[in-house]
């Protein structure tokens, strides 16, 4: 993370603009937003721009500008940035493209980017290849295009690498108050995390939204999360690239579980940074976080004057970590009194139209619902078209929601099922009165889920620092199963008793020593089950010899005591993500790895409490808990064993590339667990 202060660049009093058409547009946008500072155009030939006298060079300026918009070609950009840095300017936006983002088209792109960084020195820069920033609090813009923002007193900050996405977000009409929009381009020097930390420090910023195409250093993300937590200003991320799985050439099942997107999800969740999957969800979540911050729980109430809307609300919660708890007994008499006998009292609640058009009765009904202790109280209301219909009774309903929230102190949201049915003036008024103006049922439910998730993490102690051990260079070797189990056993992981053999006769002799029944495995064969290199439940020496004879390509044999029967099988593995390093995957093991899609990613290091919680999230956990009267599994032993595997990964992080324990057999309660197959790949 950069140590360069960004205050002057983000909140300038003096702005210098370099270039022709784009520079002129920057001045136009500042004038439209009412920027009260000084603007100094710099141009080698023009005498003035929009009534302001032109300066010829940086040296001619009255003083070092707080911020500069550099809208010239890429070669001249480097020279101007050098002059600004030497003069002591506060920072610059580099508009030009053709740097490291264009190495496929330009041979000197990477070289020119290094020249730009050298020219900037200690002066912060945004970009290159970006539009810059809009400060809607002070009316300061380094922005060469139109936008949809207006002056406000407080609001959220939105950061993105994409200038076009930024423009689109400023055009929203959903009532989201945007304090800053900042684009980072290719983040040559200043990352999105750097900018976010600087904006969180502004007391007028309430929350931060990031649209990211990729993460930089995990340490920067950790610092951002810690600062957000201390400042009580939540961060939500829209990361693109979900379809891009890190399924590199690996021989383990773990690699199919721990794609880079799954790892990013796990890291963000651990840090208390929310994640959404669409721009509408980002906007709606930011609205909720702006008004209320993180939610204390996942509980929601919903009221609508339609059974159809109530059903849509209930369905939207399926598969989401939100709930519609039953009404409290204390709520029922008051609701019955105001709504009448024909309304079925439930949550979500269809309150029919008996109180429609009656401000006092609506306020009473909403107040009764809001006093149920829910984290968020929603009232579904789609406004009619303003060009064809009249809406005084809809406005009255909005007023009743405001009144009920004020009377009860509860958090409320007015929800239009379609975004076009929430007029911007209504949304603005609701937000100004502390009512979240939601657009879209799914997006509102996602917003509640994300806000509650952040609240849950913030209520716990701060997480352990992420494992940060650079990978060693060197050739990758794959240990034999026997050697892998020896290493894991030394770290406390239970493995079956086993002996190696190098002929069918020796395998039979080793089986006699162990005692029957046994398992025979061919060494040096990946995916042994598929290759027919595993024989189970062998009861005598002849059976062992015959089984060995069928494994012709094996380098040797591993004879082990037969373990079982198990209550459940787990997979425990580690895979190295290119951004976040090593993380642990825990899921349904054995033949169910690909069938069930049942796994959880744990960033490392991981505590036993986190491991226990991860197991409880698995579908296969029902078996461990004793499904339909079947014996319970040894959950405590499973947690201890997985913790031992996690410790092994942490201790060997510099050289380990992959760990795959599949299956870890969970035996009946009190009988422990056993890692019956293991694979380790590491660098020499």
Question: What local confidence, expressed as pLDDT, does residue 308 receive?
Answer: 94
Domain enclosing residue 543, as ranges: 497-561
Q: Looking at the structure, do residues 624 and 582 belong to the same domain, yes or no? A: yes
Q: Looking at the structure, do residues 305 and 428 belong to the same domain, yes or no? A: yes
Question: What local confidence, expressed as pLDDT, does residue 225 receive?
Answer: 97
Range with the poorest average pLDDT among 419-428, 458-467, 589-598, 619-628: 589-598
Q: Looking at the structure, do residues 303 and 271 belong to the same domain, yes or no? A: no
Question: What local confidence, expressed as pLDDT, does residue 256 receive?
Answer: 42
Contact 257, 573 (CB under 8 A): yes
Sign of the alpha-carbon dihedral angle for 401, 404, 405, 406:
positive
**pLDDT tens track for 667-680:** 999 999 999 999 99
With respect to residue 240, please indicate whether it lies within any of the assigned structural domains.
yes
Question: What local confidence, expressed as pLDDT, does residue 252 receive?
Answer: 42
In angstroms, the CA 336 to CA 598 distance is: 44
* Final residue in a domain of this structure, among 433, 459, 485: 459
- pLDDT higher than threshold 70 for residue 594: no
Contact 321, 452 (CB under 8 A): yes
- pLDDT higher than threshold 50 for residue 99: yes
In angstroms, the CA 432 to CA 429 distance is: 5
With respect to residue 234, please indicate whether it lies within any of the assigned structural domains.
yes
- pLDDT higher than threshold 80 for residue 216: no
Question: What local confidence, expressed as pLDDT, does residue 628 receive?
Answer: 87
Q: Looking at the structure, do residues 188 and 146 belong to the same domain, yes or no? A: yes
Question: What local confidence, expressed as pLDDT, does residue 247 receive?
Answer: 38
230 C-beta neighbours (distance < 10 Å), count: 10
Question: What local confidence, expressed as pLDDT, does residue 210 receive?
Answer: 97
The CATH code of the domain that includes 529 is: 3.30.1490.20
**pLDDT tens track for 550-581:** 997 788 899 999 998 999 999 999 988 888 88
Mean pLDDT of the chain: 92
Query: What distances in angstroms separate CA 58 from CA 30, 43, 68, 570, 665, one per listed residue?
Result: 20, 10, 10, 65, 71
Q: Looking at the structure, do residues 312 and 213 belong to the same domain, yes or no? A: no
In angstroms, the CA 130 to CA 160 distance is: 10
* Final residue in a domain of this structure, among 540, 561, 582: 561
- pLDDT higher than threshold 70 for residue 246: no
Q: Looking at the structure, do residues 523 and 441 belong to the same domain, yes or no? A: no
With respect to residue 285, please indicate whether it lies within any of the assigned structural domains.
no
- pLDDT higher than threshold 90 for residue 4: no
- pLDDT higher than threshold 60 for residue 11: yes
Mean pLDDT over 390-412 rounds to 97
With respect to residue 492, please indicate whether it lies within any of the assigned structural domains.
no
**pLDDT tens track for 35-63:** 999 999 999 999 999 999 999 999 999 99
* Final residue in a domain of this structure, among 237, 252, 277: 277
Percent of the chain with pLDDT over 90: 84
With respect to residue 368, please indicate whether it lies within any of the assigned structural domains.
yes
Q: Looking at the structure, do residues 308 and 443 belong to the same domain, yes or no? A: yes
Instruction: Convert 284-322 to b/e letters by CB count within 10 Å (16 or more is b).
Output: bbbbbbbbbbbbbbbbbbbbbbeeebbebbeebbeeeeb
- Non-local CB neighbours of 235 within 8 Å, separated by 6+ positions: 196, 207, 208, 209, 210, 224, 225, 228, 273, 274
What does R_g of the chain's alpha carbons equal in angstroms? 31
The CATH code of the domain that includes 674 is: 3.30.470.20
Sign of the alpha-carbon dihedral angle for 647, 648, 654, 658:
negative
Q: Looking at the structure, do residues 201 and 333 belong to the same domain, yes or no? A: no
- pLDDT higher than threshold 70 for residue 23: yes
Q: Looking at the structure, do residues 555 and 573 belong to the same domain, yes or no? A: no
**pLDDT tens track for 307-335:** 999 999 999 999 999 999 999 999 999 99
With respect to residue 489, please indicate whether it lies within any of the assigned structural domains.
no
Structure confidence at residue 591 as a pLDDT band (50, 70, 90): low
The CATH code of the domain that includes 127 is: 3.40.50.261
Q: Looking at the structure, do residues 301 and 420 belong to the same domain, yes or no? A: yes
Q: Looking at the structure, do residues 13 and 100 belong to the same domain, yes or no? A: yes
Q: Looking at the structure, do residues 557 and 572 belong to the same domain, yes or no? A: no
Question: What local confidence, expressed as pLDDT, does residue 596 receive?
Answer: 66
With respect to residue 425, please indicate whether it lies within any of the assigned structural domains.
yes
Range with the poorest average pLDDT among 224-228, 300-304, 527-531, 592-596: 592-596
| Paired tokens of 286 | 């930011």
Under DSSP, is residue 49 helix (H, G, I), strand (E, B) or coil?
Answer: strand
Lookup result for tokens 């319970």: 632
- pLDDT higher than threshold 90 for residue 111: yes
Query: How far does CA 255 lie from the centroid of its chain?
Result: 20
Question: What local confidence, expressed as pLDDT, does residue 530 receive?
Answer: 73
Residues β-bridged to residue 205: 155
Structure confidence at residue 592 as a pLDDT band (50, 70, 90): low
Q: How many domains does the chain have?
A: 4
Quick one: which of 601, 643, 603, 639 has its CA closest to 621?
A: 639
Contact 5, 27 (CB under 8 A): no
- pLDDT higher than threshold 50 for residue 80: yes
Q: Which one is predicted more confidently, 647 or 472?
A: 647
In angstroms, the CA 359 to CA 331 distance is: 19
With respect to residue 616, please indicate whether it lies within any of the assigned structural domains.
yes
**pLDDT tens track for 485-535:** 999 999 999 999 999 999 999 999 999 999 999 999 998 776 777 778 899
Mean pLDDT over 631-651 rounds to 96
Question: What local confidence, expressed as pLDDT, does residue 463 receive?
Answer: 92
């Amino acid at each position: 993370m950069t140590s360069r202060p960004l205050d002057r660049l983000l909140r300038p009093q003096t702005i210098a603009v370099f270039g022709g058409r784009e520079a002129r547009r920057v001045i136009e946008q500042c004038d439209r937003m009412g920027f009260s500072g000084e603007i100094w155009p710099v141009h080698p030939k023009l005498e003035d721009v929009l009534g302001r006298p032109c300066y010829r060079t940086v040296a001619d300026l009255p003083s070092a500008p707080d911020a500069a918009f550099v809208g010239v070609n890429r070669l001249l950009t480097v020279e101007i940035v050098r002059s600004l840095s030497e003069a002591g300017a506060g920072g610059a936006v580099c508009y030009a493209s053709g740097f490291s983002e264009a190495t496929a088209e330009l041979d000197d792109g990477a070289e020119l980017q290094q020249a730009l960084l050298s020219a900037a020195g200690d002066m912060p820069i945004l970009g290159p290849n970006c539009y810059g920033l809009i400060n809607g609090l002070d009316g300061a813009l380094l922005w060469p295009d139109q936008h949809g923002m207006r002056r406000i007193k407080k609001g959220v900050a939105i950061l993105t690498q994409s200038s076009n996405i930024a423009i689109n977000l400023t055009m929203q009409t959903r009532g989201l108050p945007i304090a800053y929009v900042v684009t980072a381009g290719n983040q040559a020097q200043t990352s999105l995390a750097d900018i976010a930390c600087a904006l969180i420090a502004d007391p007028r910023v309430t929350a931060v939204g990031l649209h990211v195409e990729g993460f930089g250093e995990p340490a920067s993300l950790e610092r951002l999360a810690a600062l957000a937590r201390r400042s009580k200003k939540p961060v939500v991320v829209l990361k693109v690239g979900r379809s891009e799985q890190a399924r590199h050439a690996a021989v383990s099942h773990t690699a199919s579980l721990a794609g880079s997107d799954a790892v990013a999800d796990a890291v963000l969740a651990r840090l208390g940074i929310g994640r959404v999957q669409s721009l509408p969800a980002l906007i709606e979540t930011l609205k909720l976080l702006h008004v209320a911050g993180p939610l204390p729980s996942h509980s929601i109430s919903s009221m609508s004057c339609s059974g159809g809307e109530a059903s849509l609300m209930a369905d939207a919660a399926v598969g989401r970590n939100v709930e519609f708890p039953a009404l409290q007994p204390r709520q029922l008499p008051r609701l019955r009194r105001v709504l009448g006998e024909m309304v079925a009292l439930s949550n979500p609640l269809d309150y029919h139209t008996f109180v429609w058009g009656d401000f006092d009765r609506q306020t009473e009904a909403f107040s009764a619902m809001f006093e149920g202790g829910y984290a968020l109280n929603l009232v579904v209301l789609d406004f009619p078209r303003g060009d064809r219909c009249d809406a005084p009774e809809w406005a009255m309903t909005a007023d009743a929601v405001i009144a009920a929230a004020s009377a009860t102190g509860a958090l409320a949201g007015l929800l239009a099922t379609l975004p076009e049915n929430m007029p911007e003036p209504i949304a603005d008024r609701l937000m100004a009165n502390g009512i979240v103006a939601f657009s879209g049922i799914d997006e509102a439910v996602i917003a509640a889920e994300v806000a509650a998730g952040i609240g849950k993490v913030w209520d716990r102690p701060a997480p352990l620092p992420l494992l940060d051990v650079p990978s060693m260079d060197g050739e990758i070797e794959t240990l034999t199963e026997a050697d892998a189990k020896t290493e894991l056993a030394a770290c406390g992981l239970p493995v079956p008793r086993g002996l190696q053999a190098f002929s069918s006769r020796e395998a039979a002799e080793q089986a006699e020593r162990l005692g029957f029944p046994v398992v025979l495995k061919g060494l040096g064969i990946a995916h042994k089950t598929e290759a027919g290199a595993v024989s189970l439940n062998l009861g005598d020496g002849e059976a062992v010899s015959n089984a060995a004879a069928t494994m012709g390509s094996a380098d040797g044999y591993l004879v082990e005591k037969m373990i079982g029967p198990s209550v459940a099988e787990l997979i425990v593995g580690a895979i190295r993500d290119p951004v976040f390093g090593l993380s642990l995957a825990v899921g349904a093991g054995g033949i169910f790895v690909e069938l069930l899609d049942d796994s959880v990613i744990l960033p490392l290091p991981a505590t036993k409490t986190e491991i226990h919680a991860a197991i409880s999230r698995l579908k296969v956990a029902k078996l461990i808990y004793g499904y339909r009267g079947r014996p319970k599994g040894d959950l405590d032993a499973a947690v201890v064993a997985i913790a031992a595997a996690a410790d092994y990964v942490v201790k060997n992080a510099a050289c380990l590339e992959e760990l795959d324990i599949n299956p870890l057999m969970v035996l009946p309660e009190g009988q422990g667990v056993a890692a019956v197959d293991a694979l380790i790949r590491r660098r020499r």
